[in-house]
Structure 1
Amino acid sequence: MENYQICRVAIAPLRKEPSDRSEIVSQLLFGDRVKVIEQTEKWWLVQNFDDDYQGWMDFKQLTRLGEAQYLDKRSYTYLAPAAVNNTLIAANGSAYYVPAGCTLPFYADGFCFLGEEKFELKFDAWMPSRQTIASELEATAKFFENAPYLWGGRTLFGIDCSGFVQTVFRLHGLQLKRDASQQAEQGELVDFLSGATVGDLAFFDNEAGQITHVGMMLGNDKIIHAAGKVRIDPIDDQGIFNPEQGRYTHKLRIVKRFF
């Protein structure tokens, strides 16, 4: 029998190995659904429903779902908006401060639910729409500007390059894979940088030819990306130029279009 769970805390680390000392490879956010792959006494290996990403986590940060609840896709459409004051009130009156882009399961009339547990929203739920992506995507990306870089991070208070673009696109109804190398396999190729438009994703490789970085184009000569912090830098056919360092920091490989 499959074991289905949902994240019950605002942010939960997903680790490479079942240990508190292990590298954080990603995060689960409030309302993320997972399937349990393997269990130990404290640690569970889980797979995220949305992007199939796997990692180990403390089982106490999860609560059980029935199979029908887990698979009910229509009940996971509302998200927390790009804002810093997304507060949920639990049944006992305590507050949860949830990050932008997290899921609000079974949302209706100002409430969402984790299994049988009910939460009152103190903000307006966000319904992603691809119809407004062209006009609103840049503003959503800039909401995260100056967010500190954090390997494996997915929130305003710590985010990595692929987590950044994944979250921005998620807020507009487009699901990307988790890592830059995986995202580079999605979308349609843009032949020349000069043809890039707002919302295209640029991918960068290392000396071994591996995709290691991604950012979102703001036209064909600027990019917003997470490197040290979420920042806006100039870009040309060679790659990203960092004015503070006075050098190119990332070598351009390809540009992809997703809408």
Structure 2
Amino acid sequence: MITPAKLLRTTLLTVAVSAVCMIGASAASGVGTVNTDALRLRNEANTTSTILATASEGDTVVILEDAGNGWYKVDYNTVEGYMSGEYLTVSAQADVTIGYGLVQTGGSTLNVRSGPGTTYSKVTTLNDNAVVTIVGINNGWYKIKTSSGAVGYVSSEYMVTCKDSAGSRGDGTTAVAVASDSSMGQQIVSYAKQFLGVPYVYGGNGPNSFDCSGFTSYIYRHFGYTLNRTASTQLSNGVAVSKSELQPGDLVFFRYNTSYPASHVGIYIGNGQFIHASTNKYQVQIDQLMTGHYANVYIAARRIL
């Protein structure tokens, strides 16, 4: 799998570390509201596929397309997946705060219109990589609010959802990060340590609970990297690295008594230690990699950066 790390070595990052955004999102067609206690987001349109996240009653999702057989492809908290339409109240338009959006026009400016269509008057323009607040959807158009307070509509084809606010970036535009791979690894480690003590829950995607691969996926997604969802499939992310060459931020893998290629994954933090969502004490914790139990079940490492 080709990761955004390849781009980091050859180009300036177009997404700031403090405002990480999802790349390659589909255009929105509407909004869905969860009408059951809990609704699972899955990586395929069926009840047996991997669970990516769990939404609560009243949560909103961006409807990206009708996937057929009663399922919708959706964007939930910047993660794309599939939800059963049986438990979604779907509307083509709604005024509801969805989160933040990053303009992606390939260098051009984006017109903000007074209504959801190209025939409406122009309110203002947004530069490529500007970040705004998304406050609604109307038939494939996002209703947005800029940092200056202007409100209008932009086509969802030219915007992707973000995890963090534009305000945290000062001027509301995408900062340029020119960071070495090693310093990025330290940033990943520092961010991961903020979750020490968070409970381990099977299928947990964060931030209130994690399983092992849910933890690594969540941490890397904060920095703009998309990992596969399970420990075994994360073995195909990044490039192989030997145990003697480990750097902070590298993924480390383990295998217990299983036929799967890997059954556990964590993040190397340096000094022979790694951080992971552990099934030992059922929490995010730091353990020794080079000695003891984990040294005996260690199988591989992958470098994402």
**1:230 equivalent in alignment to 2:284:** yes
* Pairing partner for 1:60 from 71, 79, 88: 88
Q: How far off its partner does 1:209 sit?
A: 3.9
Q: Which residue of the partner structure matches residue 232 of structure 2?
A: 181
* Pairing partner for 2:68 from 38, 44, 50: 38
Deviations 1:133-159 (A, max 9, x none): 234111110111111112222222111
* Pairing partner for 1:204 from 247, 250, 254: 254
Q: 1:188 to 1:171 in 2, by over 3 A?
A: same
Q: How far off its partner does 1:39 sit?
A: 3.5
* Larger Rg, first or second structure (1 or 2): 2
Residue correspondence of structure 1 range 16-165 to structure 2 within 5 A: 25-27=51-53, 35-40=65-70, 44=71, 46=73, 56=84, 59-60=87-88, 74-75=102-103, 107-108=131-132, 111-115=133-137, 116=142, 124-125=167-168, 131=179, 133-165=184-216
Is residue 185–residue 247 contact of structure 2 (8 Å, CA) maintained in 1?
A: no
Is residue 45–residue 67 contact of structure 2 (8 Å, CA) maintained in 1?
A: no
Counterpart-to-counterpart distance in 2, 1:168 and 1:203: 16
Secondary structure of the corresponding residue to residue 154 of structure 1: coil
Counterpart-to-counterpart distance in 2, 1:32 and 1:220: 43
Structure 2: which 5+ residue stretches go unaligned? Answer: 1-26, 94-100, 105-129, 148-163
Q: Which residue of the partner structure matches residue 298 of structure 2?
A: 252
Q: 1:216 to 1:75 in 2, by over 3 A?
A: same
Identity of paired residues, percent?
A: 21
Is residue 37–residue 46 contact of structure 1 (8 Å, CA) maintained in 2?
A: yes
Q: 1:169 to 1:3 in 2, by over 3 A?
A: closer
Q: Which moved more, 1:201-210 or 1:224-233?
A: 201-210
Q: Which has the higher contact order (CA 8 A, sep 6+)?
A: 2
Matched to 2:134, the amino acid is C
Q: Which residue of the partner structure matches residue 217 of structure 2?
A: 166
Structure 1: which 5+ residue stretches go unaligned? Answer: 66-72, 77-105, 242-247
